[in-house]
Amino acid sequence: MKLINTLLAVTAVLLGTARSVPAADSPATETHRKLLSRHETVAQFEGVTEHKCPGATKSCPDRCGNSGDMATFKIIKYTAYENPGDGDPRQTKFQFLVQDNMKNLKVPAEIKRAVESLKVGDYVVLNWRHDYVTYVRSKSPERPIQLLKPITKEEADKLPAALEAPPKAPK
């Protein structure tokens, strides 16, 4: 299967039809991933709402893949934070598309199941990365979720808050 995906990707590049974001089943098109920041948090689930893409392409908002079910979390505290590459600063809110309006998953299936198990107000451990990813024909930021785990309020209260990060060294 990997060989077929690789051959399809090479053919797409040669024909000039490669997608700017690879399909979930074709990681071979990724050529480089750089960590910009790492976020480990305790958060509270605010719910899933319908999100409409504000883009201006002729595919927006219905066929661009950026409209769909948006999960929103309020960040209660950071348990760890790292910013080695000019990534996102500490956040007070984190949102991500669970699936687009055509029901295509935008996160791994286990993350979707975790979101579906939550009720508004539930506490979670929510960890993600801010990466800069190079593909065969494009470069873009990505924020993959590393962990989404329900916890109780008592467990959330016991997790230690991270110290403020020291200032970055001059370049």
For the chain, the domain total comes to 1
Instruction: Please report the beta strands in the chain, taking only residues with DSSP state E, as ranges in sequence order.
Output: 30-51, 68-82, 93-100, 123-135, 139-142, 145-151
Residues spanned by the domain of 55: 30-158
Given its phi and psi angles, is residue 151 left (phi above 0), alpha (psi -120 to 50 degrees) or beta? Answer: beta
Contact at 8 Å (CB) between 82 and 38?
A: yes
**CATH number, residue 137:** 2.40.50
Q: Is residue 88 part of a domain?
A: yes
- pLDDT tens digit sequence for 62-77: 777 788 999 999 999 9
- pLDDT tens digit sequence for 95-115: 999 999 889 999 999 999 999
Looking at per-residue pLDDT, the higher value among 2 and 134 belongs to: 134
Q: What average pLDDT does the structure give for the chain?
A: 82
Residue 10 has pLDDT above 80, yes or no: no
Q: Is residue 3 part of a domain?
A: no
